[in-house]
Structure 1
Amino acid sequence: MEIVIKLSQFLLSLSILIILHELGHFIPAKLFKTRVEKFYLFFDVKYSLFKKKIGETVYGIGWLPLGGYVKIAGMIDESMDKEQMQGEAQPWEFRSKPAWQRLIIMLGGVTVNFILAFIIYIGMAYAYGDFYIKNEDIKDGIWVTNPVVENAGIQTGDKILSIDGQKVDKFVPSVSLDILMSKQVVVERAGEEKTITLPVNFIGKILDENKKNVITLRMPFVIGGFADDSKNKEQLKTKDILVSLNGNPVKYYDEVKSVLEAHKNQKINATVLRDNKETPVTLQVDKEGKLGVGLGTLQEDNLEKLGYYKFSKESYGFFESFPIGIERGVTQLGNYWKQLKAIFNPSTGAYKGVGGFAAIYNVFPDTWSWETFWNITALLSIMLGVMNLLPIPALDGGHVMFLLYEMISGKTPSDKFMERAQLVGFVLLISLLLFANGNDIYKAIVGK
């Protein structure tokens, strides 16, 4: 059932993005009286799951869910239809239209992608508001579980003050991504400010370590379950919270862990919070400094009741949601552009994280959440828009590049040149797809 939910979200999101992107080309083409021969969701390599001709356009669904397309008459595209281009240009063909109209048709897809992302973020601001912790309320700093982050100089207990000069007012999950993409982080440690310059290959090292968390909130040691060979099953119960060891109070998991590692193969007196009452227990620490238990979690309201964190919730009215949503969209657009630049800079090692369709599929959770679904869809829409704007022949950005050349120089590239450029672009795209999906396969084989 989990696979079905995950796959359903993946296909639904992909379908929405493809259909709206292609509509972005289709609608201006129709407005400028340009014939659209095909409108397809997914690719119909030698076979269609569904097709129906309405007017001059064949609408269909292909069997290969790697994208979609509109086939516009009189345009050299991925179909490489040379025969059509050998005849005399007709008034309804793309090549007969003024350059400014062709430019609008080609920019239509990415324009819709960006508009869709902003609409989703506005809708999410209105429907879900903001849920966060004020940075000033994180009294005991953050939790670092990734050795790469520790080696870079950020430690458990540090308070993040600013990232690349931007003050951190709210602690939200995206703070980790901000640090990952940053060059400099300012933290407060033991009452002093420290500036940490991250290494150029910080992203690559994180990917090599294969630990997703950069930083997270410090959490209490909650008993979530027991290993089969645990010697503490009789002393502990699930949902117990360790609050003291050897008579010394412990508030967070990292504090408990360090005490246990110092008492390997020993019995240790402890106190747990059970049903809101403190209960003394005696625990056996194994040779690895562990209790043979799994870490549990607490809901936000319980964390707040126990005095760990104070969560803030902001709701927005309809008109208030517009500037909030637009700001989120601009932020995500900037973040993705930073990621793209890092990927094309070999020294960062960010290319190791490039993934294909399996990576996109794995982004979706195995439980249905409309908030998560729309958040991922908005991000994918931005990614699709930015990627399509790259000046690579066979992508919208490649066509736009040649159209701008034509508008500035007054010269139209020859059909032969466009065919060759399209072929080069197609080879580049196939290479990128092979690299991205090959990365997925490699990670699956080596378990990363």
Structure 2
Amino acid sequence: MEILIKASQFILSLSLLIVLHELGHFIPAKLFKTRVEKFYLFFDYKFSLFKKKIGDTVYGIGWIPLGGYVKISGMIDESMDTEQLAQPAQPWEFRSKPAWQRLIIMLGGVFVNFVLGILIYICLMWAYGEKFLPNESVNNKDGIWVQDSLAMKIGLETGDKILTIDGEKIRKFNGITLGFINGNNFTVERNGEILEKKLPVDFIAKLMDRRKNEEGPVVSTRYPFIIAKVQKDSINENSGLKPKDIVTSINGDNIKYYDEAEAILSKYKGQEITLSVKRGNEIKEIPVKVTDRGTLGVVFGGVSYNDLAKLGYYDLADIEYSFAEAVPAGLNKSWKTLTDYVKQLKKIFNPSTGAYKGLGGFISIGSIFPDEWSAESFWNITAFLSIMLGFMNLLPIPALDGGHVVFTLWEMITGKKPGDKFLEYAQVVGFILLIALLLFANGNDIFRLFK
């Protein structure tokens, strides 16, 4: 059921983005009296799931869910229909239109993607505001908890306060891992001293190669020792410990955070000790046994940031925006999303980073949707994908909108239009590159599944 919910959201989001993107080409083409032969969601090689002709245009749904397209008369596109190009140019064809009109038609899809992403972010800021744990709140307390081997490898220690990444102050604590992915260096405060740290070039590769039990954020907040459950048949099953008990001291040694408990418990392996636990408004003294491994046979955790805020450990930000305030907030969010994506793309094209290993296809994209329906999450992801789709289509690769834009700009600057044969060959090369990229990305997904 969870997979079905994820897949349904993915298909809905993808379909929405494709239709609107192609509509961005369709509308200016119609405005400039250019004939549009087909308007398709997904590709229709050999046959269609649905099609209907209205006027000069066939509207349909293909069976290959790899995108969509509009087929514009007199244009060399992914359909590779070059027969009409052998005939004299007709006034309703794309090739007969002035260069500036062709440029607008080609930029229409990208324009819609960017505008859609911005509008969604603005509406999300207006409807939901922002709720997050400020990094400043963590730094104002006792810093981070380091339990991840990668965090240790890049020189982090429990209690460190991460200040900046690439000179930029960190606003949201949950943004630290993404900051490390995009960054090159960072600064921490340790015992009052400011330290400069350099991220390894292959940080992203190391991030993906972590052990399964370390997947998630590289660093985390420090948590109180809250018992989630007492394990069945454990040494302390009948000790009187209960879920939601907060351990405040171990045999007289006061503790504030769970990470302080391990060293203390290691001193009492195989012994009986007394825990002080906070239960509601009471403090209870409970005798327990420590295993030979220095554990108590309990599961720690089960707390959220909201729980920590209620306990007074951190202060959460809960920002509400009027519509006027949501506009700049949505624009800033859109710009940050775009710049972060560009930084990641740069690292993918640098083999030494190992970022290409993380390139994913449909499985990766589908997996970022939650396994329960959430309008806020769905539209957040859709906004991100819209901006990502807009930027990817703007890349100067033949077969993408950006490739057509480059050739049109060349014509406008030099006054020389590329030949039809050149455009045809360029389209073939671009299509091969895209297929290779698609196979590599989805191959990565399949490899990770089996791994």
Flag whether TM exceeds 0.5 (same fold). yes
Deviations along 1:153-194, one digit per CA (max 9) or x if unpaired, are 1222111111111123x3342232112211111111111111
CA RMSD, aligned part only? 1.8
Matches within 5 A, 1:78-117: 78-117=78-117
Which 10-residue stretch deviates more, 278-287 or 326-335? Answer: 278-287
Partner of 1:217: 221
TM-score normalized by structure 1?
Answer: 0.94
1:298 aligns with 2:303: yes
Equivalent residues of 2:133, 2:174 under 8 A apart: no
Counterpart amino acid of residue 167 in structure 1:
K
Q: Please give the secondary structure, in 2, of the residue aligned with 1:320.
A: helix
Partners of 1:425 and 1:264 lie apart in 2 by 65
2:440 to 414, 424, 435: 435
Equivalent residues of 1:122, 1:324 under 8 A apart: yes
Partners of 1:263 and 1:65 lie apart in 2 by 60
Partner of 1:238: 243
How far residue 150 of structure 1 moved from its aligned partner, in angstroms, is 1.3
Partner of 1:184: 185
Q: Please give the secondary structure, in 2, of the residue aligned with 1:307.
A: coil
1:444 to 434, 440, 449: 449
Partners of 1:372 and 1:346 lie apart in 2 by 32
Equivalent residues of 1:113, 1:382 under 8 A apart: yes
Structure 1, unmatched stretches of 5+, are none
Equivalent residues of 2:394, 2:400 under 8 A apart: yes
How far residue 133 of structure 1 moved from its aligned partner, in angstroms, is 3.4
Partners of 2:265 and 2:16 lie apart in 1 by 51
How far residue 117 of structure 1 moved from its aligned partner, in angstroms, is 1.0
Deviations along 1:71-98, one digit per CA (max 9) or x if unpaired, are 1111111111021221111111111111
How far residue 385 of structure 1 moved from its aligned partner, in angstroms, is 1.1
How far residue 225 of structure 1 moved from its aligned partner, in angstroms, is 3.3
Partner of 2:142: 140
How far residue 301 of structure 1 moved from its aligned partner, in angstroms, is 4.1
Partner of 1:35: 35
Q: Please give the secondary structure, in 1, of the residue aligned with 2:225.
A: coil
Counterpart amino acid of residue 238 in structure 2:
E
Equivalent residues of 1:221, 1:252 under 8 A apart: yes
Partner of 1:130: 130
1:365 to 367, 370, 375: 370
Partners of 2:267 and 2:15 lie apart in 1 by 54
Q: Evaluate the alpha carbon distance shift between residue 180 and residue 290 of structure 1 in structure 2; reply closer, same or farther with a 3 A threshold.
A: farther
How far residue 111 of structure 1 moved from its aligned partner, in angstroms, is 1.0
1:161 aligns with 2:166: no
How far residue 240 of structure 1 moved from its aligned partner, in angstroms, is 2.1
Partners of 2:300 and 2:24 lie apart in 1 by 48
Q: Evaluate the alpha carbon distance shift between residue 125 and residue 231 of structure 1 in structure 2; reply closer, same or farther with a 3 A threshold.
A: same
Equivalent residues of 1:24, 1:111 under 8 A apart: yes
Q: Evaluate the alpha carbon distance shift between residue 92 and residue 259 of structure 1 in structure 2; reply closer, same or farther with a 3 A threshold.
A: farther
Partner of 1:313: 318
Partners of 1:366 and 1:77 lie apart in 2 by 37
Partner of 1:174: 175
Q: Evaluate the alpha carbon distance shift between residue 50 and residue 158 of structure 1 in structure 2; reply closer, same or farther with a 3 A threshold.
A: same
Partners of 2:34 and 2:268 lie apart in 1 by 77
Q: Evaluate the alpha carbon distance shift between residue 308 and residue 394 of structure 1 in structure 2; reply closer, same or farther with a 3 A threshold.
A: same
TM-score normalized by structure 2?
Answer: 0.94
Q: Please give the secondary structure, in 1, of the residue aligned with 2:323.
A: coil
How far residue 7 of structure 1 moved from its aligned partner, in angstroms, is 1.5
Partner of 1:253: 258
Q: Please give the secondary structure, in 2, of the residue aligned with 1:173.
A: helix
How many residues align? The count is 445
Q: Evaluate the alpha carbon distance shift between residue 229 and residue 392 of structure 1 in structure 2; reply closer, same or farther with a 3 A threshold.
A: farther
Q: Please give the secondary structure, in 2, of the residue aligned with 1:280.
A: strand
Matches within 5 A, 1:375-414: 375-414=380-419
Which 10-residue stretch deviates more, 382-391 or 432-441? Answer: 382-391
Partners of 2:310 and 2:198 lie apart in 1 by 37
Which 10-residue stretch deviates more, 251-260 or 36-45? Answer: 251-260
Matches within 5 A, 1:418-433: 418-433=423-438
Partners of 1:187 and 1:155 lie apart in 2 by 10
Equivalent residues of 2:133, 2:305 under 8 A apart: no
How far residue 263 of structure 1 moved from its aligned partner, in angstroms, is 4.5
Partner of 1:10: 10
Structure 2, unmatched stretches of 5+, are none
Partner of 2:200: 199
Q: Quick one: percent identity of the two aligned structures?
A: 60
Q: Please give the secondary structure, in 1, of the residue aligned with 2:397.
A: coil
Counterpart amino acid of residue 91 in structure 1:
P
Partners of 1:62 and 1:259 lie apart in 2 by 64
Deviations along 1:9-66, one digit per CA (max 9) or x if unpaired, are 1111111111111111111111111111111112223232221111111111122222
Partners of 2:380 and 2:44 lie apart in 1 by 29
